[in-house]
Amino acid sequence: MNVAFVLLTHNPDEPAGIERSIAALAAGLRELGHRALIIAAGPGTPADDENLLRLTSLTLPRPALEEHLTALLADSAPVEQEVRGLLAGHAVDLVCWVDAVWGLGYLSPAPAGTATTLMVHVPRTDAPLYRSLEHRPDRVLTVSDFMVAELAREGVDSTGWAVVPNALMHTLTPPAPDEREALRERGPVRIVARAEPHKGIAELLKAHPAELSRPVQIVLAEAGFEYWPGMQNDVLTECRALAAGLPDVEILPAMPWQKVPGFLAGAAVTVVSSTSPETFGNVAAEALSVGTPVVGYGLGHLPALTGPAGRMTALDSGPGVLWQAVVGLLDDPASYHAASAAGPLQVAAHTPAAVAQTFLDAVGAAR
């Protein structure tokens, strides 16, 4: 099969969960012998390869707002024509609109006879989603059972949607038991997040406990999109100022995708402090894969993903209780090592090839 994913914001190593999930799914399809292309807006980057097709009819600013995109697509004919031409020219059998807007699902510019799939990664219930559904895609996919239930709760008919979880593109062997014990005793708390207010990093820093007595290292990454002008800069500025007043707390820059698992493997624990539900939880999955326990708010898919490999707290209990859960887990060797051992088992099925096969089964195209 020739499969194409349309995600306008895609860039190699873009620090965003949807971009990373699509890259891993595409890698899994190629591992199974299929061709997987990604169609994105310009500008191109030196890291682009032959599987990343750049539109010449659409160039996005960085960072881009959704209002930028809708303004650029006020006359959508050139983009629709170019997308159709690319799909036809590459003999694409199946095209996936990765989002209602950023994946052009609301336009659905597929050549006649090309199978279409709409991916719903975030719980949006606005006009673009309904316009995307009105195009009657052959299949609608989402990333977790939570998303199926959440959209139904919001009034969207999600019956018949298929769940295709995210895959782990880069994996490592977890630290040995003696290394893990050393991390429990004195290893750092490490956190990886996008510079977005709902990731809860500023609130977490404000509640930082003096008794923690170990390093806290936070990777905050700027993506190619944001929700309002200056959002990411505001988050970074606030978090850096807060960290500067705390003992042994660092705000680190973004790192390449392949380095994230190793960074998390060297942590005693990671914290997912998102104050809005994680629809999947890529960073949590990467931490679990290397045996690093996850502490977070029990929202969205995170409790099901983490299972016994960490501890969940209630959002309304606040970030102070998150820190208490971190300290409590680190101070309980038996519970800590049980959580660490459970982590890789929680995500063992999330290999690129296995997830790609789930995708193929879901779209009715398994060979």
Determine phi and psi for 29, rounding to 5 degrees. Answer: -65, -40
Paired with 193 in beta bridges are: 220
What letter represents residue 28's amino acid?
G
Measured CA distances, 194 to 29, 147, 153, 224, 362 (Å): 27, 21, 27, 11, 30
**Mean pLDDT within 289-310:** 98
Q: What angle do CA 352, 354, 358 make, to 5 degrees?
A: 110
19, 10 in Cβ contact below 8 A?
yes
- Distance (Å, whole) CA 87 – CA 83: 6
**What pLDDT score was predicted for residue 366?**
38
Rg for the chain (alpha carbons), in Å?
21
Tokens of 319: 């970030």
Quick check: 367 pLDDT over 60?
Answer: no
pLDDT in tens, 115-162: 999 999 999 999 999 999 999 999 999 999 999 999 999 999 999 999
Average pLDDT, the chain: 97
Count of beta carbons in the 10 Å neighbourhood of residue 82: 17
Confidence check: pLDDT of 108 > 80: yes
Residues 25 and 352 sit within 8 Å (Cβ to Cβ): yes
Tokens, residue 87: 């799909």
pLDDT in tens, 186-199: 999 999 999 999 99
54-71 b/e with 16+ CB inside 10 Å = b?
Answer: bbebbebeebbbeeebee
For residues 308-337, average pLDDT: 98
pLDDT in tens, 324-366: 999 999 999 999 999 999 999 999 999 999 999 999 999 985 3
Tokens describing residue 362: 């879901």
Q: What is the reported pLDDT for 210? A: 87
C-beta separation of 139 from 362 below 8 A: yes
The DSSP code for 109 is -
Residue 276 has pLDDT above 70, yes or no: yes
Distances 13 to 21, 47, 79, 156, 260 between C-alpha atoms, Å? 11, 9, 24, 32, 11
Rounded to an integer, what distance in angstroms lies between the CA atom of residue 362 and that of residue 356?
Answer: 10
pLDDT the model gives residue 211: 86
For residue 95, give the nearest of 169, 153, 36, 10 by alpha carbon: 36
User: Mind listing the pLDDT tens digit for each residue in 45-99?
Assistant: 999 999 999 999 999 999 999 999 999 999 999 999 999 999 999 999 999 999 9
